[in-house]
Structure 1
Amino acid sequence: MEKNASHILDIHTHKSEEASHGRAIINYQLPVGGALCLSSFYSAGIHPWQLTERDAEEQLAYLQKLLVEGRLVAVGEAGLDKLTAAPMELQVRILGKQVELSEKYRLPLIIHCVKAMEELLAVKKELRPVQPWIWHGFRGKPQQARQLMENGIYLSFGEHYPEQTVRTMPVDCMFLETDDSPVDIEEVLHRVARTRGTDVEELRQAIRENIQKVFFRR
């Protein structure tokens, strides 16, 4: 990617290009999303909520097409969710395929995980990926956060973040996002800075350094 990424602060949003004001990595909806704007950054993956046996291969083929074209800076969101209809066996298999794509194209993987942390860590242990994983929209407690970080997983926080976790975790494992919330990423940044007792501009710089390291290091 030749585009300037220094202004990116929001690593995961469902907002449009116009609404995100060029400051976000936009989640692109598979398998039939709209046209990708050449001036924006995107991630794409097969979300457990949209996963069925009937169209899993079609979604994988479409994801592969976007990756071949070099249109993405991350794979995902992908993951496991025990509250959705797709069988866990299918979810694990398709997550594994997306991990393989993340590795092949040397892109980070954005994770969606609901009540399936043990299964997620089992996949990571089995496949032993070297590309970064980011658990988006993390709302867990500090001990859960520590376990994930010990397994090499970054954490991303949105509007409804857990204050104790945000207050105590190392900044070099942290990202910020807006996800499907209408809140602006600047509001998330300022709130997290207050929670951590950190200068806003120091936090902004740290988050941008993390983004450069994980998403744009190639």
Structure 2
Amino acid sequence: MALSPATAVTPAALVDSHCHIVFRNFDEDLEEVAQRWRDAGVQALVHACVEPSEIPAIRALADRFPELRYSVGVHPLDTEHWRDDTAGVLRQAAQADSRVVAIGELGLDLFRDHNLEQQLAMLEPQLDLAVELDLPVIVHCRDAAEPMLALLRQRAARGACPRGVMHCWGGNPKEMEGFLELGFYISFSGTVTFPKAEATHACARQVPADRYLVETDCPFLAPVPRRGKRNEPAFVASVAARVAELRGETLTQVANTSTSNAAELFRLPLHNV
């Protein structure tokens, strides 16, 4: 049964709204990792896809772990995986499996690459696909808030901007406000626990209660005190705890709120999956 936004969740309920457990460094102990996320109260996971060849393996993980849902898409740093038929491949994958709940992770990254035109050339078709299929987008945006906002505002003006989430938020409050005005959610990862991430801390304090998610982005960005080690879905509890501290709320409040928000955005079935 799907959890509607108005449905109460148990105090322990958490959603890791962005993870990558398909990576090889989970091969040896994935069952133990799964037990830990269940023990931590993680009821659902959204597994992000970075390029199409991952899709069969992610689908197999969804077969193995019924609490897992996933996206299909191409990461902005993986432009070499974009082909003339890629949008069709993503469309077919999304339509073939109801467990696909988003398109992405897509976006712009001008920190590592500077091929903006090439990134835009594969971003636009993915945004079009999300609108066509009425799916949210998972947006990776690093050192690229200005061009991303410009593009999304242009699309919003013509009624072609999908809903979605700014994943692993690392921007400042002004940038956050721009994405919030477009209807996007803001997702906080382990970076919110880093002592020097002052802009992220400010965003966590200011974001409206109905517009934030929590995530791990594992195996990357493990939260304090595990920073520098392999991250895993159970550690989303540490992210939620830091968000609660910054907002002056209890962990139960943040768990309930972020889980309801994730259920709203991704239409997650948190029970009887």
TM-score by length of 2: 0.71
What residue is the counterpart of 1:65 in the other structure? 92
Structure 1 range deviating more: 17-26 or 164-173: 17-26
Q: How many residues were matched structurally?
A: 216
Task: Mark the structure with the bigger radius of gyration.
Answer: 2
What residue is the counterpart of 1:27 in the other structure? 48
Q: Deviations over 1:69-108 (max 9, x none)?
A: 1341011110011134472112112111111111111111
What residue is the counterpart of 2:27 in the other structure? none
> CA separation in 2, counterparts of 1:190 and 1:91?
35
Structure 1 range deviating more: 18-27 or 115-124: 18-27
Unaligned runs of 5+ in 2: 23-29, 38-42, 193-199, 221-230
Q: How far 1:65 sits from its partner (Å)?
A: 2.0
Q: How far 1:119 sits from its partner (Å)?
A: 1.2
When residues 215 and 41 of structure 1 are mapped into structure 2, their CA distance, relative to the original with a 3 A threshold, is same
Aligned-partner residue type, residue 205 of structure 2: R
What residue is the counterpart of 2:176 in the other structure? 145
When residues 68 and 115 of structure 1 are mapped into structure 2, their CA distance, relative to the original with a 3 A threshold, is same
Q: Deviations over 1:141-175 (max 9, x none)?
A: 22222222123222110011221221122121111
What residue is the counterpart of 1:94 in the other structure? 122
Aligned-partner residue type, residue 16 of structure 2: D
The question of whether the paired residues in 2 share the 8 Å contact of 1:30 and 1:59 is answered with: no
TM-score by length of 1: 0.87
Q: How far 1:125 sits from its partner (Å)?
A: 2.1
* Partner SS, residue 23 of structure 1: strand
Establish whether residue 131 from structure 1 lines up as the match of residue 182 from structure 2: no
Alignment of structure 1 residues 153-168 onto 2, 5 Å: 153-161=184-192, 162-168=200-206
Q: How far 1:109 sits from its partner (Å)?
A: 0.5
What residue is the counterpart of 2:226 in the other structure? none
Aligned-partner residue type, residue 148 of structure 1: F
Unaligned runs of 5+ in 1: none
| Aligned-pair Cα RMSD in Å | 2.5
Aligned-partner residue type, residue 92 of structure 1: L
Q: How far 1:41 sits from its partner (Å)?
A: 0.5
* Partner SS, residue 52 of structure 2: coil
* Partner SS, residue 51 of structure 2: coil
Q: Deviations over 1:23-63 (max 9, x none)?
A: 310113422121512322001211011112x7433533331
When residues 56 and 195 of structure 1 are mapped into structure 2, their CA distance, relative to the original with a 3 A threshold, is same
Aligned-partner residue type, residue 89 of structure 1: E
